[in-house]
Amino acid sequence: MSPSEILQQIVNGLVVGSVYGLIALGYTMVYGIIRLINFAQGALYELGAYLGVAVFGLLGTFATRNPILGLVVAVICSALATAAGAYLVERVAYRPLRSAPPLTPLVSSLAVFFLVISIIQVVTGAQPLTYPQVLSPRPWNLGPVTLTPTEVMIAVVAIALMVAVNFYVQHTKTGRAMRAIAANTRSAPLMGINTTRIVTITFMLGGAMAAVAGVLFGINYGTVTYNMGEFGGLVAFTAAVLGGIGNVPGALVGGLTVGVFSSFATVVLPNQWQEAVVFGILIAVLAFRPQGILGERVADRA
Amino acid sequence: MNVIVASLRELEALSRRTGSGRGLRVGVGVICVAFALAPYVLGGSYYPDIWTDMALWGTIGVGLNVVIGFAGLLDLGYMAFYAIGGYVFANAALYHGFTLWETLPLGALLAVVASAIIGFPTLRVRGDYLAIMTLGFGGIVYYAAQNLSAITGGYNGLYGWHNPTLFGHPFIAPIDFYPLALALLLVAALVTMGLRSSRLGRAWASIKDDELAAASSGIGVIRYKLYAYMLGSVWAGLAGALFAAKDQLVSPESFTFNASFFAVAVVVLGGMGSIAGVVLGGVLYVVIAEWLSAYTGTLSGVIFAALLLLVVLVRPAGLVPYRPKPPRLRRPATRAAADLETGGDSGP
């Protein structure tokens, strides 16, 4: 590989990785405050992508005439609807299990994951759906690398959102409440924090971010499939673990790292092994550095 | 050996007990006999696979029950061992001329070896992280099945071996494998029942309840978890080999993450720890996935996931919850203790 090819793969990886980082936010924040691996996150990402297509469909000719405005509307509507979905999931499938043994909510989240994906499969008839072309497909030559406007837009939006969420968690009252619950679930309510409300907000925020990631994915690749949430969710979870689960900046770091790794895998490895790389990273991180790159929580809780 | 003795003892204890339990056990017995005869009475040609699949999924449930139900370890990559059993059989039958009977123990052995290799690094992490790690291994086995064409046949899988025979009787149609699958299910159920009440089973139960307390009582937690992993995967290895022989095909599509998820669902749905429960879970899964989907198509996936969610929320211990017997005193000191032990309604 020539240096410019290597640089190109790194840039491609960063673009894809920023989307994964956005999904990983939901995993990492929910895990941070209630120590639940929310498998449903992958399904919410997929739901967001499909809702985005639906909104584009509803907008019809308006979106074809004003593609960028259409995209903004699609992202916002999809994020809001998916946040509502996340609220529903939390209310129905997790809140009643708050005091259950830890494996029960995990199974419940798996059930939600399959329920959402199966519903999407039934509704769409397992047919892939197509996203419209929003930005010009003509790539820009930036020195040794080429990038499409779409890719630049995706990375900018995803990273900006992650920075915003980090700011929200670090510098707002709600964010401080989230960190308080993460630090000590039992003493946080004694400080006047409405734990139920904060947990709900966290779920909804994670769902909204996953939906944005879903729409960005759809814009980037052009099509969405009913099983995209399975692999996408797993990659994003790997990103969250790699960055240090429970650690908000870690989601970005983990997402970009996983993105770059899998981007190189597409060049170095034969076709079918590319996806296995993510599993390899996941196992290696859990076996050798379960606290992740930035490190926060040690994997000692059952 | 101990296991067999223990399971026999448990059966004996079951049959000796009096009172309301008898009706239940007669019921279970009737259901078992009915299940064994059903395909021959109802006609196996309608859905020839469904009965054998029920027995195989029951076996999967019973095997995974050791890991999840007994030891409390969530394994999201259990079908990897099913895959190993299937591919070992296919390779041995196709390239080395072995029969099913010679391959079954080999498949089981390799599944156990693989579980030890996977379990050794994996079981050090706890709880939800373990689930993710097993998911990762399940994924790697799936991709290996797709890519290592030399031994797995790649995406198309392996097929085209001679059917096994027993005393000159050939096994061709899926229904021919039914008695075999049923026998495997029965052995798996009896052995794991024995395991549950053995010293090993009690160690698992204590790890499941409180790992720290178990370690403090001198239980080598990781070692016992590894035993649970190994003794659980045996059944997947055996069932996988039978499954491959029945379908006369083994391909990666049988070992996706979804399949491993369904295996977990079978155990949770039926009732973690309860052997009758997980068998019921396996039967239910096949009914929904194969019989119902013939009418509803992909909607059966929605129904199954919704059912699982409902059970988790409304009946978290599963459809047939496992209720461990209160520990029996060896020699009741007083009449009062004896009454307490038997519930007071009947003397020993």
**Residues of chain A contacting B141 with CB distance shorter than 8 Å:** none
For residue A106, the chain B residue with the least C-alpha distance is B128
Nearest CA in chain A to B317: A104
**CB A105 within 8 Å of CB B74:** no
Chain B residues within an 8 Å CB radius of A282: 132-133, 136
Tokens 């996706």 sit on residue: B256
What is the Cα–Cα distance from B208 to B203, expressed in whole angstroms? 9
Closest partner residue to B143 (CB to CB) among A36, A276, A302 is A276
Q: Does B13 touch chain A (CB under 8 A)?
A: no
CA–CA gap between residue B254 and residue B60 (Å, rounded): 13
Which of the listed ranges A98-112, B15-29, B324-338 does the model predict with the highest average pLDDT? A98-112
pLDDT at B24 over 70: no
- For residue B344, pLDDT beyond 60: no
Q: Cβ distance B48 to B172 under 8 Å?
A: no
Domain residue spans in chain A? Answer: 3-131+143-288
CB-closest option in A92, A122, A287 to B121: A287
- Going by their DSSP bridges, the two strands B165-166 and B158-159 should be labelled as unpaired
Q: What is the chain A residue with the closest CA to B121?
A: A287
Is A122 in contact with B301 (Cβ distance < 8 A)?
Answer: yes
From B316, which residue of chain A is nearest by alpha-carbon distance?
A: A104
Q: Report the residue count for chain B.
A: 348
Q: A103 and B127 in contact by Cβ < 8 A?
A: yes
The partner residue sitting opposite B136, judged by closest CB among A37, A92, A282, is A282
- Per residue in B215-265, pLDDT tens? 999 888 889 999 999 999 999 999 999 888 888 888 888 888 888 999 999
Nearest to B181 by CA among B127, B231, B235, B248: B235
Output the DSSP codes for B181-198. Answer: HHHHHHHHHHHHHHHHHS
**Which three-class secondary structure state does DSSP give residue B213?**
helix
ipTM, two decimals: 0.88
Lowest model confidence (mean pLDDT) among B53-57, B168-172, B230-234: B168-172
Contact: B137, A107; criterion CB under 8 Å: no
pLDDT of residue B237: 93
Q: Which chain B residues are Cβ-neighbours of A104 within 8 angstroms?
A: 312, 316
Q: How far apart are CA A203 and CA B330, in angstroms?
A: 52
Residue-level pLDDT at B152: 83
**Per residue of chain A (302 residues), what is the pLDDT tens digit?**
788 888 888 998 999 999 999 999 999 999 988 888 899 999 999 999 999 999 988 988 887 788 888 899 999 999 999 999 999 999 999 999 888 887 888 889 999 999 999 999 999 988 889 888 888 788 888 778 888 889 999 999 999 999 999 999 999 999 999 999 988 888 899 999 999 999 999 999 999 999 999 999 999 888 899 889 988 998 999 999 899 888 889 999 999 999 999 888 888 887 777 778 888 888 888 888 877 777 755 443 33
Joined together, the tokens standing for residue B28 give 């279970």
Fold entry, domain A3-131+143-288: ABC transporter involved in vitamin B12 uptake, BtuC (1.10.3470)
CA B134 – CA A211 distance, rounded (Å): 27
Structure tokens at A170: 């670090």
* Contact call for A283 and B136, based on CB within 8 A: yes
Question: Nearest CB to B128: which of A106, A275, A279?
Answer: A106
**Alpha helices by DSSP H, chain A:** 3-34, 40-59, 61-65, 67-89, 103-124, 149-171, 173-183, 195-221, 228-243, 248-268, 274-288
In contact, B201 and B6? CB cutoff 8 Å: no
**B201-214 residue pLDDT tens:** 999 999 988 888 99
Residue B13 has pLDDT above 70, yes or no: no
The residue with greater pLDDT, B330 or A152, is A152
Mutate to test the interface with A, among B73, B124, B143 (most CBs of A within 10 A): B143
DSSP assignments along B117-166, one per residue = HHHHHHTTS-HHHHHHHHHHHHHHHHHHHHH-HHHH-GGG-EE-PPPPEE
A234/chain B closest Cα distance in angstroms: 9
Answer whether A107 sits within 8 Å of B129, measured CB to CB.
no
Among all residues of chain A, which has the CA nearest to that of B258?
Answer: A114
Domain that holds residue B60: 48-255
CB contact under 8 A, B131 and A37: yes
Phi-psi group of A252: left, alpha or beta (phi > 0 → left; psi -120 to 50 → alpha; rest → beta): alpha
Q: Closest Cα to residue A160, out of A16, A272, A18?
A: A18
Cβ contacts (< 8 Å) between B128 and chain A: which residues?
Answer: 35-37, 102-103, 106, 301-302
B20, pLDDT greater than 50: no
Say what the pLDDT of residue A90 is: 94
Is it the case that residue B343 has pLDDT exceeding 60?
A: no
Q: How confident is the model at residue B103 (pLDDT cuts 50, 70, 90)?
A: confident
What is the rounded radius of gyration, in angstroms, for the C-alpha atoms of chain A?
19
Q: Residue A272: which of B74, B126, B147 has the nearest Cβ?
A: B147
Measured distance CA(A145)–CA(A153) in Å, rounded:
16
- The whole-angstrom separation of Cα A51 and Cα B135 is 28
Nearest to A297 by CA among A18, A10, A28: A28
Contacts of A21 (CB under 8 A, 6+ apart): A158, A159, A162, A236, A239, A243, A251, A252, A253, A254, A255, A256, A259
Please give the structure tokens belonging to residue B144: 């290996």
Distance CA A60, CA A67 (A): 10
A204/A181 Cα distance (integer angstroms): 16
Q: Which residues contact A262 (CB under 8 A, 6 or more apart)?
A: A13, A16, A235, A274, A277, A278
Looking at CA atoms only, how far is residue B285 from chain A in angstroms? 14
Q: Which of B264, B302, B316 sits opposite A115 (nearest CB)?
A: B302
Check CB contact under 8 Å for A302 and B135.
no
Chain A touched by B222 (CB under 8 Å) = no
pLDDT band at B137 (very low <50, low <70, confident <90, very high): confident
Q: What is the pLDDT of residue A251?
A: 92
Residue B348 has a pLDDT of 42
pLDDT grade, residue B59 (50/70/90)?
A: very high
How many cross-chain Cβ pairs, A to B, lie less than 8 Å apart? 127
Amino acid identity of residue B52, one-letter, is T
Task: Please tell me the distance in Å from B265's CA to the nearest CA on chain A.
Answer: 8
Distance CA B173, CA B165 (A): 12
Q: What is the mean pLDDT of residues B292-313?
A: 87
Q: Which residues of A touch B76 (CB under 8 A)?
A: 110
Which residues are paired to B159 by β-bridges? B249
Q: Which residue has the higher pLDDT, A221 or B6?
A: A221
For residue B17, being part of any structural domain is answered with no
Residue B207 CB neighbours (<10 A): 24
User: What are the phi and psi torsion angles at B47 (to 5°)?
Assistant: -125, 80
Whether the CB of B120 is below 8 Å from some CB of chain A: the reply is: no
Can you tell me the distance from the alpha carbon of A104 to that of B268, in angstroms, rounded to the nearest whole number? 9
Asked whether the beta carbons of residue B313 and residue A100 sit closer than 8 angstroms, the reply is no
Task: Give the mutation candidate from B206, B311, B313 for the A interface (greatest A CB count, under 10 A).
Answer: B313
Question: Residue A146 and residue A179: Cα distance in Å, rounded?
Answer: 40
Q: How far apart are the C-alpha atoms of A217 and A228, rounded to whole Å?
A: 10
Mean pLDDT to the nearest integer, B92-115: 86
pLDDT, chain B, mean: 82
Q: How many domains does chain B have?
A: 1
Q: Is the per-residue pLDDT at B172 higher than 80? A: no
CA distances from B131 to B59, B75, B126, B128, B261 (A): 21, 5, 8, 5, 11
How confident is residue B338, by pLDDT bands cut at 50, 70 and 90? low
Query: How far, in Å, CA of B155 to CA of B178, rounded?
Result: 27
| CA-based nearest distance A274→chain B, Å | 9
Asked if the C-beta of B139 comes within 8 angstroms of chain A's C-beta atoms, the answer is yes
Chain A nearest-CA residue for B77? A279
